[in-house]
Amino acid sequence: MTLASTVRRLSDLSRHSAKDPYVEFQWPDELEPGHDWFTTPEYLSLVGTGIWPTLSEERRKSLSFHEAANFYSLNIHGEKTLLQGLSARLYRSDMVEVSPYLHHFIDEENKHSVYFGGFCTRYAKVYRNRQFSLGVQRLPQDVEDFLFFAKTLIFEEVGDHYNWVQMRDDRLHPLARRINRSHHVEEARHLLFGRALVTDLWQHQEWSRETVRDVRDHLVQYFVSGWKQYYNPDVYADAGLTHAFDLAEEAWYSPVQRAHRKTASAKCEEFLVDARILPPESLDVC
Ligand SMILES: [Fe+2]
Ligand SMILES: [Fe+2]
C-alpha cells in the first residue's frame, strides 16, 4: 500500500469515527486511591523489587492510581511535543501529501490530552516531565523529520502496549479501562501512519555513515530516556513510600522490570529492526 493510499484510508476512518471527549467521558465526583486498580498490577514498576512483597493490597492499589496518573502525564507531555511538531509540518511543500491526515492526527492528539488532563487535574496531578531534551543542536531538515516521526512512533508504540493490555483488564476501574480503550482505538491508526511514513523516509534517505550512526544513537537514547519516565520517584512518594529515588534506581535494574520492558517494546523493536532502521539488539541496553 502506498503512503498516499494509507493517508486516504486513515483519513476516512478518522472522519467516520470522530469522538468528542467532552461527551464521551463521565467523571465520578471523586476516586479513592487504594480502593481500586487503575494500572494492571503486573505492570506496576515496583514488581520485582525488594519492597514489592511487603506492600499491602491497599498500598499496591494506591501505587496503581499514581502510576496511572504518571502514565497519563507521559502522554500529555508526549502529545504536547507531537502537536508542536505536527503543526510545524502542516502544509510544508514536501508534506502536502500527508497533510490531510496531519489534521486528524493533531485533532485526535489534542482530544487525548483533554481526557488525560481531565483525569490528572480532577483526581491527581500532571507529573512533571523528567525526560531530558534531545536534539537541541540544529540538524538538517530531513534528519529532523525522520527523528521526529521515528521518536513519535517509539513513544506511541510503547504507550499503546499499555493501552492494549489495560483496556482488557477487567480488574481495572471502568474509567481507567475506558481511557486506555479510547486511546488505543485512535493510536492504532497513528501507528499505521507512523510506520508507513517512517519506512518511506528511511528508504529515501541518502545519509553518510556518520549521520546514520548518529540517528541510531539518538533513537536508542530516546528509547531509554522514555522508559526511565515509567520509574518516577514522585509517584513513589505520592504512594506514601520512602527513599523514592533509591526505589526508582532499584526498579530500573530489576531483572523482572528489564524483562517487562523487553516484552512491552517487542512490537516496536521488531518494526525498527525489520525496517533496518536499527541493527538487532540495539535496544538491549534498556
Ligand atoms: Fe495520543
Ligand atoms: Fe497518537
pLDDT of residue 132: 65
Find the ligand nearest to 113 CA.
1
Q: Measured between alpha carbons, how far is 129 from 181 in angstroms, rounded to an integer?
A: 24
Structural domains of the chain sorted by starting position, each given as residue range(s) with its CATH number in brackets? 3-17+28-127+135-285 (1.10.620.20)
Q: 139's torsion region: left (phi>0), alpha (psi -120 to 50) or beta?
A: beta
Picking from 30, 25, 33, the residue whose alpha carbon sits closest to that of residue 122 is: 30
pLDDT in tens, 173-210: 999 999 999 999 999 999 999 999 999 999 999 999 99
Find the ligand nearest to 182 CA.
1
What is the DSSP code (8-state) at residue 240? T
To the nearest whole number, what is the mean pLDDT of the chain? 96
Q: For residue 48, how far is its CA from the centre of ligand 2 (angstroms)?
A: 30
Tell me the CA distances in angstroms from 60 to 126, 220, 255, one per residue in order. Answer: 20, 31, 20
pLDDT in tens, 149-181: 999 999 999 999 999 999 999 999 999 999 999
pLDDT of residue 136: 59
The helix/strand/coil state of 162 is helix
pLDDT in tens, 34-91: 999 999 999 999 999 999 999 999 999 999 999 999 999 999 999 999 999 999 999 9
Find the ligand nearest to 78 CA.
1
Does residue 213 have a pLDDT over 60? yes
pLDDT of residue 131: 75
Q: For residue 56, how far is its CA from the centre of ligand 2 (angstroms)?
A: 35
Rounded to two decimals, the pTM is 0.96
Residues flanking ion ligand 1, Cβ below 5 Å: 109, 112
